[in-house]
Structure formats: structure tokens, C-alpha cells
Homo-oligomer: A and B are copies of this chain.
Amino acid sequence: MIQTPALTEDQAPSIRDQIVEAADAHFSRYGYAKTTMADLARAIGFSKAYIYKFFDSKQAIGEAICTRCLTPQLATIAAAVEAAATPHEKVRALFRTSVKQCQEQFFTDRQLYDIVAFSRSENWASSARYVADLNALLESIIRMGRAQGDFERKTPLDEVCRGIWIAMLPFVDPVLLQHNLDDVEDGLPAVIGLILRSLST
């Protein structure tokens, strides 16, 4: 199956890509709500109706933008986890960089942060994937930690992951993080410490 046209070396960007690019620019400048489909259409020089040949809805475009934000964040987190030596350190790295990424986006790209937060609160597919991936990563770390004998093994794996995720919610959920920004400095280490102690044998 041919994946892309791939006719020329630096081919003209596909219409779809143009839409995403325009959406990124507009969303990050004016926000999701205040950007209209007409704005996007004008930006790419086609009619509004044409956009619907590539995206089912405005939300679908929003999800694409979210994925665009979230994918590199996930990669950074995965890299940090990779770089950490012990399972303990990996758990710490997972949550510390996860929160740091969120915070950074909050201060540099407030508009996009709001979209991501909204996406999370509405449980869009883009956010659902991100959450699922983070949880899978967490689970794999705990599995490894158990295999190496660093973590306790009595509690059901699912329950442990569930508990950790909920405990981290105030920092890991963008909507909640907004209200807890001041608590990150002191509170985050406290919760991570709590989690690490709960995992220890």
C-alpha cells in the first residue's frame, strides 16, 4: 500500500497538512473557540466546505492538534524513563517530566494548553490515547520493578496502577494542574515519595 503520494522530493504539503498547519497557527494565537472554520478555510485558500472532505468536524482538527502536542511530550517522557537507571528512578522520571512538560506548555503556549486541557476533560481520543500510553508505560515500569525484586508483588498490578494514577491526578491532569501550580514544588515530591514508598518491598 502506497502511503503518501511521494512524487517529488519536497512535495507540496497535502491539503490535510495545510489545514493542520493553519489550525496550529490559529489555535495557538486565538484559541480553539475563537477560531472559526471560515478562518481556517481562508488561511488555506479554499472554501469552508472543502475542509470537511479531510476532517469530519472541528473537533477532529482539534484532536489532530492535541496529538501534535502530546506525541512529542510522550516521546520526551519515554526518553527520560529510558535514561533512568532503577525502576524507582523511572517512576520518578515518568511523573516529574510529565508534569514538567505540562507546566512548560502552560507557560509558553497557554492557548494550546487550554485545548489539551479541554480535550482531556472531554476525553477526546487524542487525550485518551495519551493517558492510555502513559498508563502502559507506568505498568511496564512496575512490572520490571517487580521482576527485579525492587517492588512488592502482593497487590494486584491493576490496583497498583489505578491507585498511582488517581493519586497523581492533581498533577497529571491539566485541568487540575492549573489549580495546583503552586503546590507542584512541594506537593509533587511528596506524592511521588508516597508512591515510591508504597511500591517498595
Contacts and interface: CB of A to CB of B under 8 A. Distances in A.
B176 A162 contact: no
B191 A163 contact: yes
Contacts of A180: 166
A198 B199 CA distance: 7
Given A164-B194, A170-B170, 15 more contacts: A155-B193, A155-B197, A162-B190, A163-B187, A163-B190, A163-B193, A166-B180, A167-B167, A167-B168, A167-B194, A169-B169, A194-B195, A194-B198, A197-B198, A198-B198
A194 B197 CA distance: 9
- Mostly helix, strand, loop or mixed at chain A's interface? helix
Copy tally for this chain in the complex stands at: 2
Interface string A123-140: 000000000000000000
Contacts of A194: 160, 163-164, 167, 194-195, 198
A31 to B, nearest CB: 23
Instruction: Give the size category of A's interface with B.
Output: 20 to 34
B176 A191 contact: no
A99 B193 CA distance: 24
A152 interface: yes
A183 interface: yes
The residue among A162, A166, A168 with the most chain B CB atoms within 10 A of its own CB is: A166
A159 interface: yes
A186 interface: yes
A164 B192 CA distance: 10
Interface string A84-122: 000000000000000000000000000000000000000
